[in-house]
Amino acid sequence: MLSFLGSETDEERLIKASQTLYDYVYLYVSSTNTIFRILNQHLGTHFPIISVTESLSLKENLQLLVSSLKEMQTVVETEAKDVKHHIGQQLYAKIAGPITSLQEKIAVVKDLYENYKGVLGGICGPFIAVLLKHGNLSDSIESAIHQLVTSPALSLQVADLINHNDLTKILPTTDNSSIPSRSTAQQTGPLNPSTSFSLPGFKQAILQGQTTKNSLKIAADYLEEAVRVLKPSCELFQCIVKLVEVCISLVPEKVQ
């Protein structure tokens, strides 16, 4: 009844959060693949297309993604160093600086094209390299993983995140007056979860040290906390991809 009055049930919260986490891992990978394709096209690199492995945990997929991004980071750092040598500190700083507005970055791309197209041999590749070097994509994910290091949420297999019927079925909703008012995910002690949980293992982990029997609420708290922590880095990925695609569309150059 409460859901009709604007307050979500624990089951609704759990389903919404698990679906969001599932979408996040695919967003990370699709954004990274877009970046890899652009680098391969404009810098002549050979980064392989990556994919989500649903039989692995969310954490394992993110760790594999970080590994791929660090390989990319090595390449763009070398390219960015060369770009800085050719265009000077002032213009380089405008590319590398925080993304305060799309229009500012567009103005920088136009400046590069008008004044350095013959010097750099191409504008898109160098611009993207500098942008990515300072984008801190792998750092943003590693920071999120570190914040969630004791949470069992990241140890759920990706495939289980959309098995909503199975997920809610194993988690009873027994009411208990001892349910804390603050997020359970913020109150529990270290759980030291294993690398990957089956659904029964997830249930056992979330109930560790809990007095309440409402495991559905506890699970929803954990998954919502994971969504909150991962959201900024997801938005960063989307922002950089959008910026790169817009800037490429502005530069009439042949693919290298």
Asked, for residue 133, whether it belongs to a domain, the answer is: yes
Asked, for residue 132, whether it belongs to a domain, the answer is: yes
Amino acid, res. 136: N
CA angle centred on 172, ends 211 and 3, rounded to 5°: 105
pLDDT, tens only, 189-203: 444 444 555 665 666
Asked, for residue 175, whether it belongs to a domain, the answer is: no
**119 pLDDT higher than 60:** yes
Asked, for residue 103, whether it belongs to a domain, the answer is: yes
- The residue with greater pLDDT, 246 or 195, is 246
Asked, for residue 2, whether it belongs to a domain, the answer is: no
- The residue with greater pLDDT, 39 or 166, is 39
Name the one residue in this structure whose structure tokens are 């970046």. 35
Asked, for residue 165, whether it belongs to a domain, the answer is: yes
The strand pairing partners of 57, in sequence order, are 157
Rounded Cα distance between 59 and 72, Å, is: 20
Averaged confidence pLDDT in the chain: 80
Asked, for residue 146, whether it belongs to a domain, the answer is: yes
What residue numbers bound the domain in which 122 lies?
Answer: 7-169+181-250
SS3 sequence of the chain: CHHHHCCCCHHHHHHHHHHHHHHHHHHHHHHHHHHHHHHHHHCCCCCCCCCCCCCCEHHHHHHHHHHHHHHHHHHHHHHHHHHHHHHCHHHHHHHHCCCCCHHHHHHHHHHHHHHHHHHHCCCHHHHHHHHHHCCCHHHHHHHHHHHCCCCHHHHEEHHHHHCHHHHHHCCCCCCCCCCCCCCHHHHCCCCCCCCCECHHHHHHHHCCCCCCCCHHHHHHHHHHHHHHHHHHHHHHHHHHHHHHHHHHHHCCCCCC
Rounded Cα distance between 86 and 225, Å, is: 45
Number of domains in the chain: 1
pLDDT, tens only, 62-85: 999 999 999 999 999 999 998 888
The tokens describing 176, both together, are: 């208990």
**For residue 253, how far is the Cα from the chain centroid?**
31
Asked, for residue 176, whether it belongs to a domain, the answer is: no
Looking at residue 1, its pLDDT comes to 41
Confidence of residue 210 (pLDDT cuts 50, 70, 90): low
